[in-house]
Amino acid sequence: MRRADEEQFRVFVSERMERWRRGAFLLCRDWHAADDVVAVTVGRIFEKWRKVAAADNPDAYARRMLARAWADECRRSWRRELPSDDLPDGALPADHRIEDQQSLAELLESLGPRQRAVVVLRFYLNLSVEETAEALGISSGTVKSQSARALTTLRSLANQA
């Protein structure tokens, strides 16, 4: 990689790293797993940097890579174990609004894994219906129905709180 490309890559990643990390956390519900997913994504972006940089929308390309990295992690059997409530996942950065994150995490926890993935990919990572379907290996109709059901569930839970 040329020095100019390397600098462009560093700037691209550093400007997006924290958003990717938060998005991965919403998918994984575990900061350590989120960091793993982001690390894999950054490595893949590095490997394909020229293709990413030349894309019409490099952000969408990178978000798809993040979603696919998460889907790959979910397929690993050892990732199906959930972290214990007794062990801390680590400290959050000081600039995070903990109350909002906890509320969001609790609401997302009420959804099934597929609905949670659809909501995070569609509305947090801003993937299109088609990109979400491709990342999760499901049809566009399934993305639409899962997001509609998930949003109905989230609205009713938010109104109860």
What pLDDT digit, counting tens, does each position of 85-101 carry? 554 444 444 444 435 66
Name the percent of the chain in helix, strand, coil, to the closest 5. Answer: 75, 0, 25
Compute the average pLDDT of residues 59-70: 90
The fraction of the chain above a pLDDT of 90, given in percent, is 40
pLDDT higher at 21 or 106: 21
Residue 154, pLDDT above cutoff 80: yes
Say what the pLDDT of residue 92 is. 43
Q: Are 24 and 38 in contact (CB under 8 A)?
A: yes
Compute the average pLDDT of residues 57-85: 75
Burial of 143 (0-12, 13-18, 19+ CB in 10 A): buried
- Confidence class for position 30, pLDDT limits 50, 70, 90: confident
Question: Which among 51-60, 83-92, 104-113 has the top mean pLDDT?
Answer: 51-60
Say what the pLDDT of residue 94 is. 47
CA distance 51 to 156: 43
Say what the pLDDT of residue 155 is. 83
Token pair belonging to 32: 């350590």
Provide the angle, in degrees to the nearest 10, between the axes of the packed helices 58-75 and 31-47. 130
CA distance 12 to 7: 9
Residue 63, pLDDT above cutoff 70: yes
CA distance 74 to 28: 9
